[in-house]
Amino acid sequence: MKTRVRKMRAPICLMALLLGTPFFSQAASLGDLGSSLLKGLGGTAQQPGTSSLGQSEVVAGLREALVKGSEIVVAELGRPDGFLKHPDVSIPLPGPLESIGKGMRSFGMGSYVDAFETSLNRAAEEAVPEALDLLVGTVRDMSIDDAMGILDGPDDAATRYFRDRNETQLAERFLPIVKQATANVGVTQAYKSMLGQAGMAAQLFDPKSLDIDSYVTGEAIDGLFLLLAREEKRIREDPLARTSDLLQRVFGGQ
């Protein structure tokens, strides 16, 4: 009986870990998790007091966990200051404007630079919630083979899966939202104000060379996938998690 409990604990922990919240349990290595899960899916007879772990139940648990993980990341970024105050995904000035911004700050005109940077991040914060339904749809369309590949794959397997299937669609959806958001939050006005105060330095820069909307769209998507990958890696390495109702029903008591 102890051998069966030890084998089944690994898939329980892996599914639970995908929710990213504390749960007092002990997990094996990632390789052991994938191996144990595949054994659990083999349909072998269970000893009395345990229940069979079907593929459809495992995939359902993985889907719920990935959906909730996506909801957490989207909610984190798609709120006021979600990008602006985040140390790793805050959107800076576009490369061609970095030297201009640095010079303006040194002459006490940093407020114009700050206003422009803030407007860029606000536009991204408005666009990111649009990503959730695409991510959820991708999870729901996931095949059993996809799920097994994610469970037994590298630290960012789920993030790669999301990006491969969603990046182009995300860009198409984000761009019009970003365009509207840049208008709403005054990106263009802040941009013009900054260049207007830059003096001679601005004459070295061609405003037509910068597509602000495309820049914000790309930065927003990169930030989204960066946090998804980081969360996935943490989930895989951290042995602590709390199960959802579905995961408790599917994997609890094994």
Sign of the CA dihedral 66, 72, 73, 79? positive
Per the domain annotation, does 22 fall within a domain?
no
Could you tell me which residue, 202 or 106, shows the higher pLDDT?
106
Does residue 65 register a pLDDT over 80? no
Report the C-alpha gap between 227 and 73 in whole angstroms: 7
The pLDDT, as a whole number, for residue 54 is 66
CB of 221 within 8 A of CB of 171? yes
**Quick check: 33 and 14 in contact, CB under 8 A?**
yes
Number of domains in the chain: 1
Mean of per-residue pLDDT scores for the chain:
74
What does the DSSP assignment read for the chain? -HHHHHHHHHHHHHHHHTT-S--------HHHHHHHHHHHTT-PPPPTT-----HHHHHHHHHHHHHHHHHHHHHHHSSTTTTTT-TTT-----GGGHHHHHHHHHTT-HHHHHHHHHHHHHHHHHHGGGHHHHHHHHHHT--HHHHHHHHTS-TTHHHHHHHHHHHHHHHHHHHHHHHHHHHHTTHHHHHHHHHHHHGGGGGGS-GGG--HHHHHHHHHHHHHHHHHHHHHHHHHH-------HHHHHHHTT-
Residue matched to tokens 């729901």: 140
**Any domain includes 230:** yes
224 belongs to a structural domain = yes
Determine which of 46-55, 57-66, 68-77, 181-190 has the lowest per-residue pLDDT on average. Answer: 46-55
Range of the domain at 232: 62-237
**19 or 146: whose pLDDT is higher?**
146
| 40 is a domain residue | no
Per-residue model confidence as pLDDT tens digits over 195-248? 888 777 667 677 777 888 999 999 999 999 999 998 877 766 654 543 455 545
Residue 10 lies in a domain: no
Dist. CA 84–CA 215, nearest whole Å: 15
Which of 11-15, 99-103, 130-134, 168-172 has the least mean pLDDT?
11-15
What mean pLDDT do residues 8-20 have? 39
Report the pLDDT value the prediction gives residue 96, as an integer from 0 to 100.
Answer: 82
Statement: residue 26 has pLDDT above 60: no
In sequence order, the 6+-apart residues with CB closer than 8 A to the CB of 96 are 205, 209, 210
Within-domain flag for 171:
yes
Amino acid symbol at 250: V
Question: Structure pTM?
Answer: 0.71
pLDDT 10s digits, 128-173:
999 999 999 998 888 888 887 887 788 888 899 999 999 999 999 9
Residue 93 in domain: yes
10, 236 in Cβ contact below 8 A?
no
Does residue 162 sit within a domain? yes
